[in-house]
Chains A and B, each alone.
Chain A
Amino acid sequence: MFKNLGCTFEPTYMEKFWMYDPRTEVGKKRMEKQKELLEKFLPIKSGKVLDIGCGMGISSFALENLGFEVIGIDVQEELVEKAKEIAKGLRYNAEFRVMDAKKLDFPDGSLDLVTLLGNPLPHLSIYDFDEIAQEAFRVLKPNGVLFLEYADWVRLLHDGYKHALVEDPFLSFHVSLNTMKGEVERLFINLEKGYFFKVKINLWSPWIVEFILRKAGFEVETHYLGTFSVVTVGVKP
């Protein structure tokens, strides 16, 4: 009766496309929030930015609104195409490219800022993020900044991972914790449309993020706004 979609993040994006579209009310609100976050914790105010995991451009446009010259990258081609189209419509200058953050196509020391906004860490394993941090360090100029926002999953698990979440259109709950891989598995059910799927979420917490960044060479500071919003800022000395 219910269709099993397997292990995928896709429906969480597809069913909530409006959340990631910079033209919708929710999209605008998210853009405003990211702008506020950046204004509050960014030690620099202008320059060249690489926005990793740009999606349809919410974070990239927030950066442009602050006065940065922005290049957004994402591994999903459809989203990059959408972002380009939206940029044209809204008259933004931001450039968008399909690129893997583990192999950045930029020369050493060419950027002022690298950002990972909108909580992309669940998609990245500890090894993925290690490579990205090293690449970010390479492409940043001295005094360049790496800025990321993420959820503190160790805290979340510690405080009660068993709560079910009923959040239109999904019902979701914890299935398992795989500590060999550092992943949590969650089951999502869409009752109205009749399908279910699992997502694997990579676990992150400030001390692990900070370890990786410091090892890559960054000086690091973390701002804890809440379990779902931890900001860590790395500066290349």
Chain B
Amino acid sequence: MFRNFGYTDAPLYEKTRDEYDIESERGQKRFRELTELLSKHLPIQEGKALDIGCNAGLSSFALEELGFEVTGIDIQEKTVNRAKELAKKRGSKAEFYVMDARNLDFKENTFNLVALLGYPLAHFSIWDFDRILQEVRRVLKPQCYIVIQESDFLWTLIRGFNQPGLEAEGLVRINIDVNVYEGYLERLLIDLEKGVFSRDKFYIWSPWILRYVLEKNGFQVEFGDKDLILARRR
């Protein structure tokens, strides 16, 4: 009766698409909140910014609003197309590409800011993120910044996120187990309305591990308010 989609995040993003789309009410609200948050906390507000995991561009538009010249990348083609479409509609100059953050197609010393917004680290293993940081280091100008929005997932996990819950309306999430070899939580997602189920890997990140990996890659790290982590290329 239920179709098995294997390992994928697609049903989750399908279901929560509104949250990432600036044309929805939810998206509008998130756009305003993010713009305010960034304008308050970013030490620079102009120059070239790379937005990694931009989805439909909400965070890229927020960065543009602040005064950055923005390039957004994401691995999902569908969302990048939507970002391009929205950019055209809004008269935005932001550029969008389908690109793997572990292999950045940009020259050295290109950007003043690299952003990973909207809690993206759960998609990356410690090895993925290490690769990404090596790439970020290469494309960032010296003394420039990476900004990461991330929560303390280990804390959440231990405080009882272990129980099943609703990830979105009609989307059930059941945590299967932790994989301590690779550091992720394996989850089962069941979309009751569509009749599909899938699994995903939710990588575990926590401040001390994040700080260590950033420092190991030559960044100076500062943990700020509202889950914002700011790290400067040494």
Contact = CB atoms under 8 A, between A and B. Distances in A.
Contacts of B207: 179-180
A154 B126 CA distance: 15
B223 interface: yes
B158 A158 contact: yes
Nearest to A184: B158
The interface centre, meaning the residue of B157, B158, B162, B182 with most chain A CB atoms within 10 A of its CB, is B158
Contacts of B208: 126, 179-182, 203
Contact of B126 (A130, A155, A161, A208): A208
A212 B223 CA distance: 22
B216 A177 contact: no
B126 A207 contact: yes
Contacts of B125: 207
A181 B126 CA distance: 17
A205 B180 CA distance: 6
Interface residues of A, number: 24
B178 A182 contact: no
B181 A180 contact: no
A163 B209 CA distance: 25
Contacts of B209: 126, 182, 208
Contact of B154 (A130, A179, A207, A222): A179
Contacts of A181: 208
A208 B127 CA distance: 10
Nearest to A203: B208
Contact of A206 (B158, B181, B204): B181
Nearest to B182: A207
Contact of A157 (B130, B158, B211): B158
Contact of A158 (B152, B162, B182): B162
A159 to B, nearest CB: 9
A207 B181 contact: yes
B119 interface: no
Q: Is the interface of B mostly helix, strand, loop or mixed?
A: helix
Interface residues of B, number: 25
Contacts of A177: 155, 158
Contacts of B126: 207-208, 211
Interface in A104-161: 126-127, 130, 152, 154-155, 157-158, 161
B180 A154 contact: yes
Interface string B207-225: 1110111001000000100
Contacts of A127: 212
A222 B209 CA distance: 20
The 9 closest A-B pairs by CB, nearest first: A182-B208, A207-B183, A179-B206, A126-B212, A157-B158, A180-B207, A205-B180, A206-B180, A211-B126
Interface of A: 126-127, 130, 152, 154-155, 157-158, 161, 177, 179-182, 203, 205-208, 210-211, 215, 222, 224
15 contacts: A126-B212, A127-B212, A154-B180, A154-B204, A157-B154, A158-B158, A158-B162, A158-B178, A177-B158, A179-B155, A179-B208, A181-B208, A182-B208, A215-B216, A224-B180
Interface of B: 125-127, 130, 152, 154-155, 157-158, 162, 178, 180-183, 204, 206-209, 211-213, 216, 223
